[in-house]
Structure 1
Amino acid sequence: MRDILESDWKIFRTVRQAALDRYCARVLDECAAVIRDTSVSNHDRYLRLYRMLDKRDDTLASAFNDFRRSTALIQLAHIRRLGVVTDEELGRFSQETRELVTALVTGDFG
């Protein structure tokens, strides 16, 4: 996999930050929903919250950690797959990067 273009790297740095914030907001909303669910015991809510955060933390790590130019295209595809990169943000990248990210997300390399 090639490194990201310099111009796309500059865009990626800002898009990644916004995507990370969106992902965290989504997880916090999920946490709030678990906490508000009074149909189960406090202990059950605690266990659900713990398990959910453990999974979401793994997802966050695989999508947002290892922040380097050499991994930026894979990261961009991963965070796009998570639904935290908007069409508008993706449109800011070069055509080459958009096509590669779309192929990585859809698996359509034809």
Structure 2
Amino acid sequence: MGHDISGFNNTGDEIAYARFSMGNYNSTILYSLLDANKFYAGVSGSGRSSTFSIKQIEKALNTYNQLYGNSLSERDWDLKQIQDFIQNCLATAQKEGSVKIYFG
């Protein structure tokens, strides 16, 4: 069990990935930033996916930067993976208009 969250482009290629063990509370940070708490199922994601607009991903990145942007250190691996995930999703959304995210 755990949270395997993947971002996909329009052709179905995985463009972003974040992994959290089932006991890692940092997974809730990503769900919250994406306003996707309905996909949180405790020890894992719900197994469902949703399409996110450029605006939604930009909002997630802006909120991330406000909360965590200047606080990264070497021990903040989860925050770095969250940042990378959102940035990769944003790059795809900017190219294609949206990005699909799967919450497993």
Q: What TM-score comes out, normalization by structure 2 length? A: 0.30
Q: What TM-score comes out, normalization by structure 1 length? A: 0.29
Bigger strand fraction: 2
Larger radius of gyration: 1
